[in-house]
Chains A and B, each alone.
Chain A
Amino acid sequence: MIYRESGQFKTSYAADQAMFPIRQDRIFIALLLVAAVAVVPVVVSEYAIRSILMPFLILSIAAIGLNLLLGYCGLISLGTAAFMAVGAFSAYKLATGIPDLPIVLNFILAGLVTAVVGMAFGLPSLRIKGFYLAVTTLAAHFFVEWTITKFGWFTNYSPSGVISAPPLDVFGIAIDSTTEKYWFVLAWVLVLAVLAKNLVRSSVGRAWMAVRDMDVAAAVIGVPILKTKLLAFAVSSFYCGIAGALYVFAYIGTVEPQAFDLNRAFQVLFMVIIGGLGSILGSFFGAAFIVTLPIFITLAAAPFGGQIPAEVLSNLELIIFGILIVFFLIVEPLGLARLWQIGKEKLRLWPFPH
């Protein structure tokens, strides 16, 4: 009943092609936006914004990026962390090399640099796929890691290999409080999410899905395989690059190359899998789940006070994490996005069974 779309007629093509065709969805999204922009900074503590919301938002950008590649184009990549590192370090180099460059332009340039790197490492995808591709993207990961730690130029010869982001400032307005940084990140997330959503609804997205579902058939109907796959790598890397840049500039501030290790790549991969392959909304669900999971585990352990040593707790975290992933895959391989869809269907009929 709550979710009935009866009485809502579409009288124009624009209405038919709207991103949220159902009124309830539009209301819900509008409320969510108002809450995220205006209510959250007031209600949620600064600490929670910094330690939960910021990583959630930034990693959801990376998750959207990987989802475009893996979920829509069917190309598996374990190079996410490396691409984030490329974005972070090129934004850093740009910011220190050209201090007058506006930060938005800087990030976009950093994203483009990452896109070029991603395309270079995406080239093998033309001949191989599946796990084999995963391994070549691992090559990207280790190569990038080595390059950044080995050549001092990337870190401006900082002896420890650690870089510190210069202060943020958007068109002359300094961004230094947590709330301001949160808005800054949120703006990026919104723009990039809408862009991604529109991208996958357009001919580009359809070409990706065609290649994912059957590349030979896609080629037969005239989808250029080379261009489509490389474009997927480029767009995906662009998103990861921006996520990496935000990670350093808006979230951590000071970062070492190890922040972008292989575990980060797996973390984003899990976000995509648990959230739902081929769903932009799912990327947010997945990111929220993975970011908050350790917090829930710690909370669940809290009643036992100090009885559980930290070492056991961190191992317990690994165990629960592993079990949950396997459990999720067994129960709902299509991810949280699918659960959301089922929930909406149920609400549509409720309280009637059919």
Chain B
Amino acid sequence: MLEMIYLDPLFAIEVVVSGLLSGIMYSLVALGFALIFKASGIFNFAQGAFVLFAALTLVSLIEGALFGVKLPLLLAAAVTLVIMVVYGMAVERLVLRPLINQSLIILFMATIGLNFFTEGFAQMLWGAQVKRLDLGIPEKPWEGLRLATGITLSVFELVAAAIAGVLVLGLTLFFSKTTTGRALRAVSDDNQAAMSVGIPLQHIWAVVWAVAGIIALVAGMLWGAKLGVQFSLSLLALKALPVLIIGGFDSIVGVIVAGLIVGASEKFAEVFVGPYFGGAIENWFPYVLATVVLLIKPQGLFGEKIIERV
């Protein structure tokens, strides 16, 4: 199949670009992971379930699950935002605060428990059937681009990419310019040192979990509109893992770049290399890629170098 690249270079470009765009969508989910990991060293396995919860809540509010009032999209998004922030903070308060000073594996386990809880809770509250989410962004090719270059790209994916870009920019500014953001970085470097200079650790963690809830909402909206709001959204977490590994757990920029790499290479491998192996290699290809990256650069492409011998 590799000869197809020469035969139809435009198609190859299209594959790579659409891969890049879906890669940005992976980055969106992975961002939530990276944020919490950066601030508290916790690998939050429940982030995928958060995405599901946010998307289900949003759709149900739009469909009028709350007192039969059908909320418009923006209002529903605002209400969902509040719910996600409260949920994130509640998680911090009820699950993580009692587990302070436990080893990381215990915290990881706790987030797996949280993952089960959130999945069950979301589906019990709002029902488990597949729902359609319409954001009003057309899912059709961008005519202008197609006429100019012959490349077919969906408007929706471009908008999604733009939203992801804005989110990353916002987070980067938040981390580098605001007091809270700087405190957050201090906490991630060394939480005891941060506490000793008077940074309220628990307050900071609450902020982080709230922000993770917000990112989950954005990811849930975009993925929900793309795939339909359903249980499989929570499996996105598994797609985000290799992205995290390749980018380095604690780097926001790394996550975006890695998302692009994973998205593009996975599509490319599936279309051009997959047929040699009987197809469907999309599922494990990112993981193998991540393993290879780990063997060469254990801290990921952009991760902070940990001086630790293994």
Contact = CB atoms under 8 A, between A and B. Distances in A.
B120 A317 contact: yes
B118 A146 contact: no
Contacts of B238: 138, 262
A322 to B, nearest CB: 3
B106 A329 contact: yes
A143 interface: yes
Interface string B65-107: 0000000000000000000000000000001001100111110
B294 A136 contact: yes
B294 A143 contact: no
B280 A150 contact: yes
A326 B114 contact: yes
A81 to B, nearest CB: 13
B174 interface: no
Given A131-B108, A319-B121, A143 B284 contact: yes
Contacts of A319: 116-117, 120-121, 124
A216 B242 CA distance: 28
B209 interface: no
B241 interface: yes
B43 A128 contact: no
Categorize the interface residue count of chain B. 35 or more
Interface in A126-147: 126-132, 135-136, 138-139, 142-143, 145-146
A330 B106 CA distance: 9
Given A318-B117, A325-B109, A136 B290 contact: yes
Interface residues of A, number: 43
A139 B290 CA distance: 8
Interface string A220-246: 000000000000000000000000000
A317 B115 CA distance: 13
Interface in B195-234: none
Contacts of A316: 120, 124
Contacts of B112: 266, 269-270, 325
Contacts of A150: 277-278, 280
Nearest to A262: B238
Contact of A126 (B241, B281, B310): B310
A15 interface: no
A142 B310 contact: no
A146 B120 contact: no
Interface string B104-147: 11101110111111111101100010000000000000000000
A324 B114 CA distance: 10
Contacts of A321: 113, 116-117, 120
B156 interface: no
Contacts of A311: 128
Interface in A21-67: none
A135 B284 contact: no
Contact of B290 (A135, A312, A315, A318): A135
A127 B309 CA distance: 8
A314 to B, nearest CB: 8
Contacts of B119: 315, 318, 322
B98 to A, nearest CB: 4
B249 interface: yes
A142 B283 contact: yes
B179 to A, nearest CB: 30
Contacts of A323: 113, 117
Contact of B115 (A129, A131, A322): A322
Given A146-B283, A333-B102, A135 B277 contact: no
B128 A315 contact: yes
B310 A322 contact: no
Nearest to A229: B310
A139 B291 contact: yes
Contacts of B291: 124, 135-136, 139
Complex A-B, nearest 6 residue pairs according to Cβ-Cβ distance, in ascending order? A322-B117, A318-B120, A325-B113, A139-B287, A322-B116, A142-B284
Interface of B: 43, 95, 98-99, 102-106, 108-110, 112-121, 123-124, 128, 238, 241-242, 244-245, 249, 277-278, 280-281, 283-284, 287-288, 290-291, 294-295, 298, 309-310
Given A146-B280, A319-B117, 15 more contacts: A130-B104, A131-B43, A135-B294, A138-B287, A142-B284, A151-B278, A312-B124, A316-B120, A318-B116, A318-B123, A319-B116, A326-B95, A329-B110, A330-B99, A333-B99
